[in-house]
Amino acid sequence: MNAQNKHLKRHYDTWVYSRRVPSALAHLYNSSHITFSLKTSSVKVARLKRDKFNGHLANQMQGTISPEREEFKRHLTVAKEYAEGIKDRDSCLTYDDFFPRESIAHAAYREVAYKDTNHVYSYTAKEALQSLLGRKAKLSDDTKQKLKNALDRFLTFVGVNDMALTEVHKKTVVAYIEHLGNEYAHGTIAAHLSRLKSVWVHAFQLGEITLKQSPFEDHDLSPYKKGESQRKQLFSKEQLNKVLNECPESVRPLAKLALFTGARISELCKADVEVVEGVKCLVVQKGKTKSAKRYIPLAEQVKDIELPLRLDDKSAGRTFSAFKIDKITSDSTRSFHSLRNHFITAGQRAENLTEFDVAYVAGHKTGTTMSFGHYARHDVKRLKATVDKIASQIEKEWF
């Protein structure tokens, strides 16, 4: 068979898709084969349709939970209805009336009849993830994707499509960390473990597992630290002017806005605009921390920028980074985030500004008590005066 035509058969003058159902998806199909007409006589079109359906199957395999777990759940439904009757010797019901003589069915029956959960068909990692993503509606698409990627990477390392959470052991995670350490730095490893821990904690909170202590926590990651991370530094006067005047037009307004608001790139790309008490403000709905949600009055220096920006922050970040490395500096301590440092530094150096107001505009925690932290609301006009003073200080320092 021509390798280019794998899973393709010709029926008269029409191409047909035909393949055996992947074992990981067997529980989703009623037959052992998938066969359907591609409704085309062109082999090129048939290949395109074949590849599209193969991609659909790949997505199904990536998202599906263990087929053994699916089978166990089906037997569990039957067990909940008949287990007590089978245990009752006067009922004339027997195990063989409802269950096949195989280990998965037997485990489901024993779990219901005798509370025996000592089996490998219990709540799985992908079940926990699907539940977490379904219940946590406020999670961003980026966070959801990172959770999926973290679990997929771990399962790939273990060599399975899915597994019972109770089968995840500490030693396996230690080996996984060593595996990640060959490619990633301390921070990335810690982030992967944190996401996997959140899946475990969610399962515990639902009562699906009884062990609170996650195998993904309390690991020594010190061998993967390559020195303390360096703080972001300010651009020089010449570098800053080059950033504002020569960076690509697609991100030039973004860079200027970052300098005169102190906001993070993700906040700027997604912020709305609103007039509050007569003051035009950027409205940050959510961000890196709880304090990120805020109003940022806009200085005169950015009045010419068309808002909202509505940019993809990942793409914009890559564009700016490529420009910075090519035209400004390859120093990793100077980046887009340095523009935020300029704003906060100007706020520190300007006269008669309170740290409280500067911190609020920058999205840092301001209140240490319930009264100030939860109930207090900032005066927008006062914040506008703060932003204007910072803008004047920026021009004085670097323009």
Is 199 in the same domain as 322? Answer: no
Per-residue confidence at 289, pLDDT binned at 50, 70, 90?
A: low
Is 58 in the same domain as 37? Answer: yes
At residue 24, the pLDDT reads 61
Is 262 in the same domain as 390? Answer: yes
- Look at residues 351, 264, 364, 273 and name the one whose alpha carbon lies nearest to residue 316: 264
Of 331 and 229, the one with more pLDDT: 331
- Whether residue 123 contacts residue 165, with contact meaning beta carbons closer than 8 Å, is answered with yes
Q: State how far the alpha carbon of 318 is from the alpha carbons of 113, 235, 265, 334, in Å.
A: 58, 18, 11, 14
Is 203 in the same domain as 314? Answer: no
Kindly tell me if the per-residue pLDDT of 21 is higher than 90.
no
Distance, in Å, from the CA atom of 59 to the CA atom of 287, rounded to the nearest integer, reads 30
Kindly tell me if the per-residue pLDDT of 224 is higher than 70.
yes
Is 280 in the same domain as 365? Answer: yes
Strand order of the β-sheet with 294-297 is 272-276, 279-284, 294-297
Kindly tell me if the per-residue pLDDT of 59 is higher than 80.
no
Q: Which tokens belong to 160?
A: 């399975």
Q: At what angle do helices 337-349 and 355-362 cross, to 10 degrees?
A: 160
Residue 262 falls inside a structural domain: yes
Is 147 in the same domain as 103? Answer: no
pTM listed for this prediction: 0.50
Conformational region of residue 396, where left means phi above 0, alpha means psi within -120 to 50, and beta covers everything else: alpha
Residue 229 falls inside a structural domain: no
Kindly report, residue by residue over 44-53, the tens digit of the pLDDT: 899 888 888 8
Q: Which residue, 203, 224, 245, sits at the end of a domain? A: 224
Distance, in Å, from the CA atom of 93 to the CA atom of 74, rounded to the nearest integer, reads 19
Kindly report, residue by residue over 95-104, the tens digit of the pLDDT: 888 889 888 8
Which residue segment(s) compose the domain that 307 sits in? 237-398
Of 156 and 245, the one with more pLDDT: 245
**How much is the average pLDDT of 306-321?**
92
pLDDT, the chain, mean:
86
CATH classification at residue 216: 1.10.150
At residue 362, the pLDDT reads 84
At residue 28, the pLDDT reads 64
Lowest mean pLDDT among 84-93, 222-231, 288-297, 308-317: 222-231
Q: Cα 260 vs. chain centroid, distance in angstroms? A: 29
Is 213 in the same domain as 150? Answer: yes
- Whether residue 281 contacts residue 296, with contact meaning beta carbons closer than 8 Å, is answered with yes
Q: Which tokens belong to 363?
A: 């999205």
Is 244 in the same domain as 384? Answer: yes
Residue 81 falls inside a structural domain: yes
Kindly tell me if the per-residue pLDDT of 372 is higher than 50.
no
Number of domains in the chain: 4
The upper half-sphere exposure of residue 339, i.e. CA atoms within 13 Å in the direction of its Cβ, equals 26
Is 173 in the same domain as 275? Answer: no
Kindly report, residue by residue over 127-140, the tens digit of the pLDDT: 899 889 888 878 88
At residue 368, the pLDDT reads 46
Kindly report, residue by residue over 160-218, the tens digit of the pLDDT: 888 889 889 999 999 999 988 888 888 899 999 999 999 999 999 999 888 899 999 99
φ, ψ of residue 318 in degrees (nearest 5): -65, -40
Distance, in Å, from the CA atom of 366 to the CA atom of 302, rounded to the nearest integer, reads 26
- Whether residue 148 contacts residue 130, with contact meaning beta carbons closer than 8 Å, is answered with no
Residue 120 falls inside a structural domain: no
- Whether residue 106 contacts residue 120, with contact meaning beta carbons closer than 8 Å, is answered with no
Residue 232 falls inside a structural domain: no
Residue 158 falls inside a structural domain: yes
Is 194 in the same domain as 257? Answer: no
Distance, in Å, from the CA atom of 152 to the CA atom of 387, rounded to the nearest integer, reads 45
Give every CB contact of residue 6 below 8 A, 6+ residues apart in sequence: 50
Residue 231 falls inside a structural domain: no
Q: Which tokens belong to 315?
A: 């793409």
CA torsion through residues 233, 286, 276, 355, sign: negative
Look at strands 272-276 and 294-297 and give their pairing.
unpaired
Residue 385 CB neighbour total at 10 angstroms: 15
Share of the chain above pLDDT 70, in %: 89
At residue 254, the pLDDT reads 97
Is 254 in the same domain as 338? Answer: yes
Is 48 in the same domain as 92? Answer: no
Kindly report, residue by residue over 335-363, the tens digit of the pLDDT: 999 999 999 999 999 988 888 888 888 88
